[in-house]
Amino acid sequence: MAASTGTPKVPEYIFAEKIGSGSFADVYKAYKKGKTREVTAIKCVLKSNLSKTALDNLILEIKILKELKHEHIVEMKDFEWDDKYIYIIMEYCSGGDLSNFVKSTRRLPETVCQRFLQQLAAALKYMREKKVSHFDLKPSNILLKSRSNPILKIGDFGLAQHLPEDDTNSTIKGSPLYMAPEIVLKHQYDAKVDLWSVGVILYECLFGKAPYSSKTMNELIEKIKKDKAIDVPYGTNISQDCRNLLQCCLERDVSKRIDFEGFFSHPFVDLEHKPSPESMTKATELLTMAVNFDECQEYEEAFRHYNQALQYLVPLLHVEGDASKRTALRRKISEYLSRTEDLKKIMNNDSETIRNIRIPTIQRQESTGSTEYQGNREELLRLTATTPQIQTAIEIAASGELYANEGSYATAFEKYQLALGKLLELLQSEPKGRRKDLLREEVTRWMSQAEHLKEVLNRVTSPGNYTEELFVMADDKNCSLQ
């Protein structure tokens, strides 16, 4: 049992900085004593702040967390207590939460959203097998394992409980902005409220705000009360599968809302191609068949099997932590993509079969090491907090990076062009100092990435004058990076 003191203290751990705070608890980063110095997050709950209901919820949270062991659920490692505190020792996630991640880029490309959605869906499927519902899914309760390779982890199970899909509950739970309408309006709901919350989270990732975003609580409640379907914006670059899933999750009529079976099998969720230990085996089997078909000049079947293999291979790039292995995998994928392009030329490009086959996109940049960003953008954002024009341009350029990483090169360049056009202009009127130095550093880096995009676009699509246009634009403004 932990030592009884007036401040949070667990004998086996060294407490570092506070990383979170709530009504009933503070969360600290901590190191386990010993040779490994494992990093953890310790939730310290002050007993005197707990009502009977809050204590019951905490006990239930601990009970549920002890049962849940999944790669996309924050792991509870242990719990202890003394006369003042209850300590829940958790897995440490250094990437912050999904809410801040979305705000830092304004909105996420559909391919990133799909990858995140697969991770949430995998966790939810595991929870359904355990008959556990969360009831408070929202971006701030979803953590990122790290910023460099974002892996989502569902956390904060304070409102979770064992509830089969068809069982109902009458206690209001969750956060109103992400709460299904039936919770607010009828106080009767079932496990499908988690699917509504997933729809809201996906909507916010895609469009930068939740569908019922409001300035006041009264305004929010009025929007929830209106029997009006959620408007999924048209004119936005999202696929039909993505739009369909949003509409199915954000269905106000519970009887018409997608159920868990339909959600897990939905083509946009695409759990079949989520990276797993079996992905490489499945891809290898398909590639063996593709090569055999290729050698026998059965090009349509070869094309189909190469494509099916790539749908398993490409997602593995996003989870491969070893830089050299990632580079080798990217090179192999590029070779197979090149062969599919050759096969398309051999076959009739207008055939219905070819049009309906989706070729995965990847980052085609040759790399020999980690692509993790090592700059000072956070400091720059702090220094430019009073200059919204600069911050907006930085957010647009940052979204360009995400599009580039997902293989959406033309869209990425458009983002760079829009952002750099403004930043080059602002840089000229920026007084000397640390802020200007950091701004120049980012602009130089983004211009270099734009130049690389030109090379990629010339190889993958058709030749263009993208980078020339960018630098002509800079010359027209008499801009200089000096």
Q: How many CB atoms lie within 10 A of CB 287?
A: 19
Q: Amino acid identity, residue 153? A: K
Q: Amino acid identity, residue 297? A: Q
| 85 alpha-carbon distance from chain centroid | 33
Say which DSSP state 43 is in: E
Residues whose CB falls within 8 Å of the CB of residue 300, separated by 6 or more in sequence, listed in order: 347, 351, 353
Flag whether 47 is marked binding: yes
Closest CA to 31 of 7, 11, 3: 11
Check if 26 is active-site.
no
Cα–Cα distance for residue pair 167/147, rounded to 1 Å: 38
Cα–Cα distance for residue pair 429/368, rounded to 1 Å: 38
Closest CA to 479 of 431, 429, 436: 429
Cα–Cα distance for residue pair 268/196, rounded to 1 Å: 16
The token duo for 288 is: 């063996």
Q: Residue with structure tokens 């020339």?
A: 468
Which residues in 33-187 belong to E strands, given as ranges?
39-46, 76-81, 85-91, 132-133, 142-144, 152-154, 161-162
Q: Amino acid identity, residue 219? A: E
Which residues in 129-222 belong to E strands, given as ranges?
132-133, 142-144, 152-154, 161-162
The token duo for 159 is: 């409102």
Cα–Cα distance for residue pair 411/461, rounded to 1 Å: 13
Cα–Cα distance for residue pair 126/75, rounded to 1 Å: 14
φ, ψ (nearest 5 deg) of residue 249: -75, -35
Catalytic residue among 136, 156, 194, 294: 136
Binding-site residue positions for ATP = 47
Which residues are known catalytic residues?
Answer: 136
Binding-site residue positions = 47
